[in-house]
Structure 1
Amino acid sequence: HKTYLYRAENIEGPWRKSEIKGFYHDASLLFDEERVFIVYGNTDIYLTELNKDMTGPLEGGLHRLIVSDKGNPMLGYEGSHIYRINGRYYLFLIHSARDKWMRREAVFSSDSLEGDFTGGDVLSDDMGRPGMGAAQGGIVDDIYGNWNAVVFQDCGAVGRIPVVVPVTWKEDTPVFGIDGKVPMKLSLPSMKPDYKYKPLYGSDDFKGGLKDFWQFSHEPDMKLIDIDKKRAVFKVTTDKLCTNIHQARNVLTQRMKYPDCSGEVSVSGKNLKDGDMAGLAVYQGNYIWVGITRRNGQLYALTTSFTSKEDTWILSTEPGKESELIPLDTDELRVKLSVAFTGPDEKNTRDEAKCSIYKNGKWTDIGPSHELSFRLDYFTGARFGLFIYSTKETGGSAEFTDFVYK
């Protein structure tokens, strides 16, 4: 394990990477006049003074245990955020209740880094999702003097969703929420009322290259990627063999929207090699995808799904389960995934995805619906993913056009 530090003169870059000697779990930096500190840890939370270059601990500098959650069988303190506000030091943490799984936000404070940090839980609210407490984050103020916390909540397969919680002050203590609860609606003043924010998700015809809401699954190999703006095509070529989509290189993804959304795209299988798979996926540990494969020279439409039996941290190497192998009489197929996520207090429902193909002038469902879930093998919410992978021979390619997000 290593701890990396990135710094820049301008937030838009360039950013310079360096290492801090040692490993600091869930670390938070504190710049206090001429001194620099790092706060970190799980269960036991430590404060360590760093040297001026922030390359390691300062020899002879302050190093101490701030707080401890020893004996918590669920989750001890972690996720440190430390601030100095009006001359007082505040440490924000996440942990679980001891008698059941329930994330909580805790705050400890002190008038000195060498003094006692006192405090406790300031928020324990699952917002209608039993056991899924909103927690882990820090606080920020605006130009009008309002304070808010930004934390997260696990919301099923859609993933971890940011939650903004109003914060007020009672003497020197931050008070979270309204009567201890997170309001379901919150009106906040805009700091940039005339600024046009770029969307976090959306459609892309690929005529201008890739829009900013796309992210690759891993660091991409651009030698295997071609973005043809004139033809409005996103093309990926394979260079290794895979057993499932987890191993595929250059999967192009974007976040799915709560409470429901759909994505559709046209996939060309003209340059697929035998055994190649290409299409549109719900990209996560328990995935499903709809697309094209080539078998003995013939192109087929199919769906492939997978539900992991591994521990939540383990990414399975097993192949998925295929269904509905339908022969195609054309090289190109338009495919669609429709996803619905459950909301607070909904009973006997599940997060699920359904696959469709466009054939004979209409959308037709293909394969069974598939239950989705949030797992730590990916540690992200469900995402749309454009992919290709090879199972027999490398060098095949797939072309994607006209991605539509609804």
Structure 2
Amino acid sequence: MKHHISRALEPIQSFFRHEAFSGLLLLFFAALAIILANSPLSGSYQAVLDAVPIAGPAAYHLDLSVLHWVNDGLMAIFFFVIGLEIKREFFFGELQSLSATVLPVCAAVGGMLVPALLYAAVNMGGAPAAMAGWGIPMATDIAFSLGILSVAARSAPTAIVIFLTALAIVDDLGAIIVIALFYTGSFSLIALLAGLAALAAAFALNRRGVLHIAPYLLLGLLAWFCFLNAGIHPTIAGVILAFAIPIDRTHPESSLLYALEHRLEPWSAYVIMPVFALANAGVVLPGNLAALTEPVALGIVVGLCIGKPLGVCGAVFLLNKFLRLPLPKVLSVGHFAGAGCLAGIGFTMSLFIAALAFPDPARLATAKLGIITASVLSGAVGAGIFLIAARTPAVDQSSETE
């Protein structure tokens, strides 16, 4: 029996280890970016990011800087991998059962709504442009959160790892929807229809049983190009394309989706995300903490550090007390509080949304400072809570829900 249980838990444990190491690597490159931005090499660092490697026709929006190629190009692959993970979770993972997903899904929704509302409350009455950042504190960085969980809570129950992983995946899906609906540029209907037609062709290939990656890749590149020119962020094309990749319900390990996910995950975790951190985390640190009192930075810090745990834990409390949803017996209040704080590590997604929300470099720098500060504070508090929870026996909550 124990052998079967360990085999069933092997995928989530492997994912935990994978994301944990990725989070530590991400931390290194984020710190390197901050060091470069505040060193004598800051000019060279910024010059590399502003360089235009392809001097293509401006009409086709291919004359992108290195920074834009990272955020629009490499991150499309990152979002494609996220899409593959979400699809797999819906078919075979923690999101396949409605009853099993209620808790993390509701916690994720609470963890998105409360931070956005707190950010809006802090920035209400201020500069209208600042309100565009309401989506920044909604995000959770799965690599960082699981990375800290692996270091601070080595003996944490697998149930809280599953909860935090599912929460972060739903959070990613919510962030993708927010980006698609609210963070778009100048709109071109013709280009959008062309991109959607390319993606529809990919779904048609799926229905016809095509298992070669080449046609999906070509249609994905076409959709990316069309979305780029349509004013829709091109990373959305990567997410939608992922749902068109075939998956074999009988033999999932031999399906195209599994093969692509396993091949691309290391590139996404160990190359794309560190490069993204190196390109986006470079913020010039102020001489004092006064910049953190600016509404944009303060709204992000309040949203991530207070809004996230409040929304996550509040949703769990309401489901348990009013809807009588049973909670895992091995988990204590401290486990959920720690997970809520770790969910406040927005980093990758928050930086990504900030770059879309604030074209003004000064406001973007303020937002980055808020994101980095909030992520550090959330990680530290979450780690501390888990260290305390490790010394506290879990409360058997089954009696409360029977």
More strand by share: 1
Relative contact order, CA 8 A, sep 6+: which one is greater? Answer: 2
Indicate the structure (1 or 2) with the bigger Cα radius of gyration. Answer: 1
TM-score normalised per structure 1: 0.21
What's the TM-score once normalised by structure 2's chain length? 0.22
